[in-house]
Amino acid sequence: MFASVARAHDPYEITSTANLFSNRTELDIEMEYRTARLLAGLGWTINTNVTQADEFATMLPKLNEAAGAFFDVTAGRNAFPARETNVTLGVENHVKIHLVYPPAGDRPLRFVADGLKPLANEGPYGSSLIVLDRVRQKVLAQSVLFAATPVAEVPARSRDDVAASNQVTSASPPIVLTNFPAAGKPTEAKGVSQGKKSVLPLAFIGCGLFVAGLIFFGMRRNRK
């Protein structure tokens, strides 16, 4: 027995969050279960004789393929394919997609939501996209994408942003030095002054001996 599911008149939101780490880039996408069925090519009709868990296991290969191609991501005009894809059935009838990419570095990023194109005739589907720089703790971009406007651009990050993020915004406390020695006369100066005092008596003695020698030699000449 097959049952028909009525289409919703309001757009179904797909939430997407890109997290840029130093060693990897992660992209998390979450959508309702019926949206995932459409991406897997199952349409709107649900077989009530099959449990949701069994149906999910059946459509998982196609859903993995659709998940990897939902966003066409480029980094610095270079292809940026995902190296890991994981699709799980979450709580509240939601499907979660977790994609892992290589690190983006400071290159500009371009996200194109190609996965919205097959949903264009199924209703006004859209996807929110938030791009977070987890290294600098900054929000780089926020966009709402539709099949007609599927592109989100993230400019290149400047290396100066790292220094700016590390700047201290509050005044540093004054540095207080404790047990600092009191000011006094340098010990070397004391040594020099003492040296000068000890040299003076020797100078007087030397002069006296020199004068006595002159007198002695003068007396001997007079005797001759």
List per-residue pLDDT tens for the chain, 224 residues long: 333 333 333 447 899 999 999 999 999 999 999 999 999 988 877 777 888 899 999 999 999 999 999 999 999 989 999 999 999 998 888 999 999 999 999 999 999 999 999 999 988 899 999 999 999 999 999 999 999 999 999 999 876 554 444 433 333 333 233 333 344 444 444 444 444 444 444 444 554 555 555 544 454 554 44
Rounded Cα gap, residues 24 and 15, in angstroms: 20
The predicted structure's pLDDT at residue 99? 98
The predicted structure's pLDDT at residue 123? 87
The predicted structure's pLDDT at residue 160? 59
Contact of 70 with 114, CB cutoff 8 Å? yes
Tally of helices (H runs) and strands (E runs) in the chain: 4, 12
Sheet with strand 13-20: strands edge to edge: 84-89, 94-101, 25-32, 13-20, 126-133, 138-146
Rounded Cα gap, residues 183 and 189, in angstroms: 14
Task: Encode 144-169 in three state secondary structure.
Answer: EEECCCCEEEECCCCCHHHHHHCCCC
**CA angle (137 as vertex; 141, 130 as ends), nearest 5:** 25
Contact of 140 with 132, CB cutoff 8 Å? yes
In DSSP terms, 145 is beta-bridged to 127
What's CA 97's distance to the chain center, in Å? 23
Rounded Cα gap, residues 27 and 165, in angstroms: 24
The predicted structure's pLDDT at residue 159? 65
CA 215 vs CA 34, 45, 183, 205, 206: distances in Å: 130, 139, 53, 16, 15
Rounded Cα gap, residues 2 and 47, in angstroms: 5
Structure tokens at 153: 């651009």
If one counts every other C-beta atom within 10 angstroms of the C-beta of residue 61, the result is 11
Structure tokens at 146: 């539709």
Find all residues with CB under 8 Å of 213, minimum gap 6, and list them. Answer: none
